[in-house]
Structure 1
Amino acid sequence: MNLLDFLPTTVSFILVPVLYGLIAGITSGIFAALRMRNFLVVIWTIVGSIIGVYIGSGIGYILFNIVHPNPDFIEGLGLIIFYLNSGMLIGSISGAEIGIMIFERWRRRSRS
């Protein structure tokens, strides 16, 4: 067993969702940081986005199995990519917004 045997699994389960979450978190976080004038919100949006990507892709996979219980290979491949990408997109944006809300509450508590 070679270490390179784990490369496709590592890329698909770790690298792609983390990069997807980083891109969504940084873009949402920069706009929130400009609005709030605080750069720490970018960290919260990145973390929320990465968590949201994993949750969203899981929900997309569950929806795929419910809606299309027995697809053929080509149809199933396109549909699973659609459901996973849709779930990751919705999850990353939702996670970033939840990260912004958590940061706002944390900032209010630390001021009082």
Structure 2
Amino acid sequence: MQNIILNEFNLNPNITVEEISINTGITLKDVRAIIFDLKATGRLRGTFSQISGKMQTVEISNLYGRKIEKLETISKGDQKFCVECGSEIDTTEDAQFCAYCGSKL
């Protein structure tokens, strides 16, 4: 399933976690867990947009160590998504940490 997620980022580097879930049929929870595993092993690096939840910068390392880098400009404004995992942030509360991954917002 890791290769499926990497392929989604390779085909569309600015994809959201929700779009990956819809495209692949993998649950949202599993997509997030796979992204964490890929980041932990160094096969995926990148940050998500705080505004749209789309991946802003992505670096994919395939099995041969080749890296493909794709960039998008970083947007500014009110944070609605976690930059580390792409999870939507509850804006009704003044959260300082992501409820899913615990990253500082």
- TM-score tier by shorter-chain length is under 0.3
Could you say which structure has the larger radius of gyration?
A: 1
Q: Greater strand percent: which structure?
A: 2
Higher relative contact order (CA 8 A, sep 6+): 1
Q: Greater helix percent: which structure?
A: 1
Q: TM-score w.r.t. structure 1 length?
A: 0.22
